[in-house]
Structure 1
Amino acid sequence: MRLAPPPSAHSLRLVIVVILVMGATPSPVMSSGCPDRCVCDDQFVVQCAGQHLTTFPVNLPLATRQLIISNNRIAELPALALNYLSDLVYLDCSNNSLTEVSESTFGNLRQLAYLDLSFNLLTRVEDRTFGPLAGLVMLRLTDNPGLADIHPDAFAENAALQVLDVSRNNLTALNVTSLVALPALRSMGLSGNPWSCACDNEDLCLWVHVEGFKFQEEGQTVCGSPADMQGSRVGEVGLGLRASCHQTLGSWDYLFFVVIGFAIFTAGTASAWVMGVFIVLYERYVKRKDEQGDPEGRARGPRNQEREMEEAVERGAPLVTVRGTGRTGQTGRPARTPRGGARSQPGNGDRKASHGV
Structure 2
Amino acid sequence: MRLLPAPSSQSLRLLFLFIFVMGVAPYPALTAGCPDRCVCDDQLVVQCAGQELTLFPNDLPLATRQLIISNNNIGELPALQLNYLSDLVYLDVSNNTLIEISESTFGNLRKLAYLDLSFNTLTQIEDRTFGPLSSLVMLRLTDNLGLNEIHPDAFSENMALQVLDVSRNNLTTLNISSLIALPSLRSLGLSGNPWRCDCETEDLCLWVQIEGFKFQDEGQTVCQGPPEVSGQRLAEVGMQLRADCHQGLGYWDYLFFIAIGFVIFSAGTVSAWVMGVLMVLYERYNKRKGEDMDSDDEEERHMGGGMMGGGHQGNGDLNKAGMQV
Same fold by TM-score greater than 0.5: yes
Structure 1 CA distance for aligned equivalents of residues 253 and 91 of structure 2: 50
**1:194-205 superposed matches below 5 A:** 194-205=194-205
Q: The residue matched to 2:60 in structure 1 has which SS?
A: coil
Structure 2 CA distance for aligned equivalents of residues 92 and 256 of structure 1: 49
State the partner residue of 2:153: 153
Q: What amino acid does structure 1 have at the position aligned with 2:138?
A: M
TM-score, reference length from structure 1: 0.66
State the partner residue of 1:46: 46
TM-score, reference length from structure 2: 0.72
Q: Which whole-Å deviations, capped at 9, do the CAs of 1:257-282 have from their partners, x for residues lacking one?
A: 68988x79x99xxx9xxx9xxxxxxx
Q: What amino acid does structure 2 have at the position aligned with 1:38?
A: C
**1:238-257 superposed matches below 5 A:** 238-250=238-250, 253=253
Gaps of at least 5 residues in structure 1 are 1-20, 276-357
Structure 2 CA distance for aligned equivalents of residues 259 and 127 of structure 1: 33
1:221 aligns with 2:221: yes
Structure 1 CA distance for aligned equivalents of residues 69 and 148 of structure 2: 25
Structure 2 CA distance for aligned equivalents of residues 27 and 248 of structure 1: 69
Per the TM alignment, residue 82 of structure 1 is displaced from its structure 2 partner at its CA by 0.3
Structure 2 CA distance for aligned equivalents of residues 79 and 50 of structure 1: 22
Q: What amino acid does structure 2 have at the position aligned with 1:214?
A: K
Per the TM alignment, residue 27 of structure 1 is displaced from its structure 2 partner at its CA by 1.4
Structure 1 CA distance for aligned equivalents of residues 49 and 189 of structure 2: 25
Q: What amino acid does structure 1 have at the position aligned with 2:243?
A: A
Task: Report the CA distance shift for 1:193/1:26 in structure 2 as closer, same or farther (over 3 A).
Answer: same
State the partner residue of 1:87: 87
Contact 1:73–1:96 at 8 Å: present in 2 too? yes
State the partner residue of 1:36: 36
Structure 2 CA distance for aligned equivalents of residues 180 and 22 of structure 1: 53
State the partner residue of 1:212: 212
State the partner residue of 2:235: 235
Per the TM alignment, residue 249 of structure 1 is displaced from its structure 2 partner at its CA by 3.2
Task: Report the CA distance shift for 1:260/1:225 in structure 2 as closer, same or farther (over 3 A).
Answer: same
Q: What amino acid does structure 2 have at the position aligned with 1:236?
A: E
Per the TM alignment, residue 243 of structure 1 is displaced from its structure 2 partner at its CA by 1.9
Task: Report the CA distance shift for 1:120/1:23 in structure 2 as closer, same or farther (over 3 A).
Answer: farther
RMSD: 2.9
Number of matched pairs: 256
Per the TM alignment, residue 32 of structure 1 is displaced from its structure 2 partner at its CA by 2.0
Per the TM alignment, residue 239 of structure 1 is displaced from its structure 2 partner at its CA by 1.3
Gaps of at least 5 residues in structure 2 are 1-20, 274-325
Structure whose alpha-carbon radius of gyration is higher: 1
State the partner residue of 1:106: 106
Q: Which whole-Å deviations, capped at 9, do the CAs of 1:61-88 have from their partners, x for residues lacking one?
A: 1111110000000000000000000111
Task: Report the CA distance shift for 1:139/1:31 in structure 2 as closer, same or farther (over 3 A).
Answer: same
Contact 1:24–1:42 at 8 Å: present in 2 too? no
1:136 aligns with 2:121: no
**1:1-357 superposed matches below 5 A:** 25-250=25-250, 253=253
Task: Report the CA distance shift for 1:251/1:131 in structure 2 as closer, same or farther (over 3 A).
Answer: closer
State the partner residue of 1:312: none
Contact 1:89–1:112 at 8 Å: present in 2 too? yes
Structure 2 CA distance for aligned equivalents of residues 257 and 29 of structure 1: 67
Q: Which whole-Å deviations, capped at 9, do the CAs of 1:134-192 have from their partners, x for residues lacking one?
A: 10000000000111111111101100000000000111111111101101000000001
After superposing the two structures, state which structure 1 stretch, 218-227 or 68-77, moved more.
218-227
Q: Which whole-Å deviations, capped at 9, do the CAs of 1:87-146 have from their partners, x for residues lacking one?
A: 111000000000001110001101100000000010110111001111000000000011
Contact 1:25–1:42 at 8 Å: present in 2 too? no
Structure 1 CA distance for aligned equivalents of residues 27 and 126 of structure 2: 38
Per the TM alignment, residue 227 of structure 1 is displaced from its structure 2 partner at its CA by 1.6
Q: The residue matched to 2:139 in structure 1 has which SS?
A: strand
